[in-house]
Amino acid sequence: MEFWPELQKDFYQSFVEGGRWLLYIKGLGTTLLVTLLALILGIALGIIIAVIRAAHDQQALRKVNPVLKILNALCKVYTTVIRGTPMMVQLLIMYFVIFSNTRNQIGVAVLAFGINSGAYASEIIRGGIMSVDPGQMEAGRSLGFGYAGTMRLIIIPQAIKMILPALGNELITLLKETSIVTVIGLRDLTKAAMLIQGKTYQAFMPLIAIALIYLALVMILSWLLGSLERRLRASER
Amino acid sequence: MNDKTLISVSDLKKYYNGGSIKALDGISEEIRKGEVVVVIGPSGSGKSTFLRCLNLLEVPTGGHILFNGADITDEKTDINLHRRKMGMVFQHFNLFPHMTILRNMTAAPIKILKRRREEADAQAMALLKRVGLEDRANAYPSQLSGGQKQRIAIVRALCMSPEVMLFDEPTSALDPEMVGEVLEVMKQLANEGMTMIVVTHEMGFAREVGSRVIFMDEGRVVEENTPSAVFDRPQSGRLKSFLAKVL
Ligand SMILES: Nc1ncnc2c1ncn2[C@@H]1O[C@H](COP(=O)(O)OP(=O)(O)OP(=O)(O)O)[C@@H](O)[C@H]1O
Ligand SMILES: [Mg+2]
């Protein structure tokens, strides 16, 4: 059995030869960049949609606003379509149909993933907003804050705190899901492993390596979220 | 309406479920500056609804509310401008749990009145001192007792320098031993000439501090008079039986 020398050769080919480890690092950078930008876009979209939908549902007291009605309908269509179609299909449509003229793969990936996680985040955030005691909105309004001001200063900070675990899960899902950007040719972490596999005909080392990297990232994220949650909670005791 | 009138309510109506529930069924009242009006009545008689209509937390089904001569029920009125001048204290305090006591008190003055932070802090600290809670300025609401929370809720509203204070059963959610400290603050406020409308079951407070008592039942004002007249010489049968139950 030539097991040990074989393994060493695999390792050398997969990571060292031709400076291949750099490909993993670059791929990791791309994966993190797409995840981070998509997260920001997703949360921004999620907050906007959640507030529109909550404002629409809470307006029974006030006069019915036709603009709000239309916006609410648009938001509903958006979440239905995004949650009702596969992420991969959305990415392909975004790249090959809507933005078929651009080669800016990172931009397209960020847009596709941001729009996708916005739909999921909006439902989470809306749940958070609805779970805040209605007395908080009344207290804010009675002090003279407008609807938007009360939302921004009083309701949303409390909602975010409550939904942090759910948003954290969304972030972790997003990070893992970005691996499908390979279908539009973006060189993320997964693509790096596939490229190296294509050159060395060794599948084991590169694929196990990126699996471990993803796993480590997820564990670090979980830990960060956990300590953030504990800190937020501590501020109220 | 003379120049001492602060709030003038005419034929105020609030219906729920398309009119099957008449929470308010035609209320007309004048609230004069410096008055302490105590609203009493059985559960479901519309006391909270009346109070909450005054600052439009509930939108009335009909009638008008003039505040300082401006019709706040008019859709064109910017209600946010008027709400600043109407402080409200809730049964369940409704402090903002994610802010310190000081921030609870200064958020509105800083954001709405554009006060400088130091100025708002100084005003808040002075008010905290008055209610004996200056050492809790940097605590969070969850670290306070119910009585302390309610005293904070009162001074939070006072930070906006309101012209009238609305109280909806401010002591009903408190343990009995904490009721006194809150009533004491309210009494002080009344003595300083604050206009107050107070929904309460504290008949002792109504008699001692109230300048007028309004008895409501089934969405209407059934009887109103000075405290001594209401408590010692009730006229209507409904008030008599209500007092027999609560006194
Ligand atoms: N949002 C609502 N929807 C339907 N009915 C309501 C609503 N709010 C209040 N009501 C009804 O209106 C009536 C008056 O209620 P309100 O809360 O003003 O009474 P209250 O005098 O404050 O009573 P309590 O002493 O129990 O606080 C009650 O019959 C109540 O059930
Ligand atoms: Mg009530």
With H, G, I as helix, E, B as strand and everything else as coil, classify residue B28.
Answer: strand
Dist CA A35 CA A209 (whole Å): 20
ipTM of the complex: 0.94
Q: What is the pLDDT of residue B110?
A: 98
Strand runs labelled E in A101-220: none
Average pLDDT over residues B112-138: 97
Residue A181 burial (CB < 10 Å; 0-12/13-18/19+)? buried
- Residue A206 inside a domain? The answer is no
* Cα-based distances in Å from B208 to A215, B172, B214: 69, 18, 15
Q: What share of chain B has pLDDT > 70, as a percent?
A: 99
- Answer whether residue A143 shows pLDDT above 60: yes
Q: What is the pLDDT of residue B108?
A: 97
Nearest CA in chain A to B82: A144
Residue A138's domain comprises: 32-188
- Residue A13 inside a domain? The answer is no
pTM, two decimal places: 0.86
Of B80, B90, B94, the CB nearest to A146: B80
Across the interface, do A138 and B140 touch by the CB < 8 Å criterion? no
- pLDDT (tens digit per residue) in A72-120: 999 999 999 999 999 999 999 999 999 999 889 999 999 999 999 999 9
CATH of the domain at A131: 1.10.3720.10
Residue identified by tokens 């003039």 is B66
The answer to whether residue B15 neighbours chain A at the CB level (below 8 Å) is no
Q: How confident is the model at residue B3 (pLDDT cuts 50, 70, 90)?
A: low
Chain A residues inside the 8 Å CB shell of B157: 142-143
CB A34 within 8 A of CB A106: yes
**Closest-approaching ligand to the CA atom of B201:** 1
Number of neighbouring beta carbons within 10 Å of residue B63 = 17
Per-residue DSSP letters for A24-80? HHHHHHHHHHHHHHHHHHHHHHHHHHHHHHHHHHTGGGSPPPHHHHHHHHHHHHHHH
The answer to whether residue B163 neighbours chain A at the CB level (below 8 Å) is no
Dist CA B28 CA B13 (whole Å): 10
Could you tell me whether strands B164-168 and B195-199 are parallel, antiparallel, or unpaired per DSSP bridges?
parallel
**CA of B17, closest atom in ligand 1:** 4
With H, G, I as helix, E, B as strand and everything else as coil, classify residue B228.
Answer: helix
- pLDDT (tens digit per residue) in B92-106: 999 999 999 999 999
Q: What is the pLDDT of residue A61?
A: 53
Dist CA A34 CA A110 (whole Å): 5
Average pLDDT over residues B192-200: 97
Q: Which two tokens stand for residue B23?
A: 């929470």
Helix A66-84 with A21-57: angle, nearest 10 deg: 140
- pLDDT (tens digit per residue) in A159-191: 988 899 899 999 999 999 999 999 999 999 999
Nearest CA in chain B to A135: B94
The answer to whether residue B57 neighbours chain A at the CB level (below 8 Å) is yes
- Answer whether residue B131 shows pLDDT above 80: yes
Across the interface, do A135 and B96 touch by the CB < 8 Å criterion? no
- Residue A154 inside a domain? The answer is yes
Q: What is the pLDDT of residue A146?
A: 94
Q: What is the pLDDT of residue A83?
A: 95
Q: Which two tokens stand for residue A94?
A: 């975004």
Of B80, B86, B111, the CB nearest to A153: B111
Nearest CA in chain B to A162: B98
Chain A residues inside the 8 Å CB shell of B90: 135, 138-139
- Answer whether residue A19 shows pLDDT above 70: yes
Pocket of ligand 1 (CB under 6 A): B 16, 21, 23, 41, 43-49
Dist CA A163 CA A45 (whole Å): 16
Q: What is the pLDDT of residue B149?
A: 98
- Measure the N-to-C terminal CA separation of chain A; round to a whole number of Å: 62
Dist CA B211 CA B196 (whole Å): 10
- Residue A207 inside a domain? The answer is no
Among A31, A15, A21, which residue's Cα sits nearest to residue A221?
A: A31
Nearest-CA residue for ligand 1 atom 7 is: B16
Q: What share of chain A has pLDDT > 70, as a percent?
A: 95
For chain A, the domain total comes to 1
Q: How confident is the model at residue A236 (pLDDT cuts 50, 70, 90)?
A: low
- Residue A105 inside a domain? The answer is yes
CB B45 within 8 A of CB B205: no
Q: Which two tokens stand for residue A213?
A: 């990297």
Give the distance from residue A168's alpha carbon to the nearest chain B alpha carbon, in angstroms: 20
Q: What is the pLDDT of residue B71?
A: 95
- Residue A204 inside a domain? The answer is no
Average pLDDT over residues B159-165: 97
- What's the CA-to-centroid distance between A99 and ligand 2, angstroms? 58
Dist CA A193 CA A184 (whole Å): 16
Cα A91 → chain centroid: 14
Average pLDDT over residues A53-80: 84
The answer to whether residue B80 neighbours chain A at the CB level (below 8 Å) is yes
- pLDDT (tens digit per residue) in B6-20: 999 999 999 998 889
The answer to whether residue A65 neighbours chain B at the CB level (below 8 Å) is no
* Cα-based distances in Å from A178 to A28, A56, A79, B39: 11, 33, 20, 62
Q: What is the pLDDT of residue B82?
A: 95
Task: Report DSSP state, residue B192.
Answer: T
CB B217 within 8 A of CB B201: no
- Residue A173 inside a domain? The answer is yes
Give, for ligand 1, the residue of B12, B14, B49, B57 to mutate: max count of ligand atoms closer than 8 Å to Cβ. Answer: B49
Q: Which two tokens stand for residue B113?
A: 């009145």
